[in-house]
Amino acid sequence: MQSPENAEQMLQIAADAAAAKGGEDLVALNVSEPLPLVDIFLIVTGNSERNVAAIADEIEDRLHEAGHKRVRREGRTEARWVLLDFGDLIVHVFHGEERVYYGLERLWKDCPVVPIELTEAAERS
């Protein structure tokens, strides 16, 4: 990983934000070996387009508040698969059907899983 502390800090903020808005089945993968410009993918499922958009917005807001700049965002209009690129961390927020269809975990199965421990505040929200 290029800057593991930064990427892991961003992951924690993003995971807590996703959980606070009802994000499910959070999986983080260390993709730094095959992708030298990215450290971690966070994959999250939302239950509806509205939920996917809310999760993505909350992640973006909290990372921005923590001083992290978004490089790129795609898919917000349709809210079936929203990609948030924060440099070291890329977040994929999927509607359940798209997550199964695209199968990112299957595509990146050789990458190690990064453990996620949600804070109590995120779990209660």
Which CATH class, in words, describes the domain spanning 4-118? alpha beta
User: Please, are residues 28 and 16 in contact by the beta-carbon 8 Å criterion?
Assistant: no
For the stretch 66-93, pLDDT in tens is: 999 999 999 988 999 999 999 999 999 9
Q: Which residues contact 99 (CB under 8 A, 6 or more apart)?
A: 25, 43, 45
Q: Which amino acid is at 80?
A: R
Joined together, the tokens standing for residue 105 give 């975990």
* pTM recorded for the entire structure: 0.91
For the stretch 41-70, pLDDT in tens is: 999 999 999 999 999 999 999 999 999 999
Q: Which amino acid is at 60?
A: E
**Residue-range domain boundaries for the chain:** 4-118
Strand, coil or helix: 1: coil
Q: Which amino acid is at 13?
A: I
Q: Which amino acid is at 14?
A: A
Q: Rounded to whole angstroms, how far apart are CA atoms 73 and 79?
A: 11
Question: Considering only CA atoms, which of 110, 109, 68 is closest in space to residue 91?
Answer: 68
User: Please, are residues 38 and 90 in contact by the beta-carbon 8 Å criterion?
Assistant: yes
pLDDT-derived band of residue 6, with 50, 70 and 90 as boundaries? confident
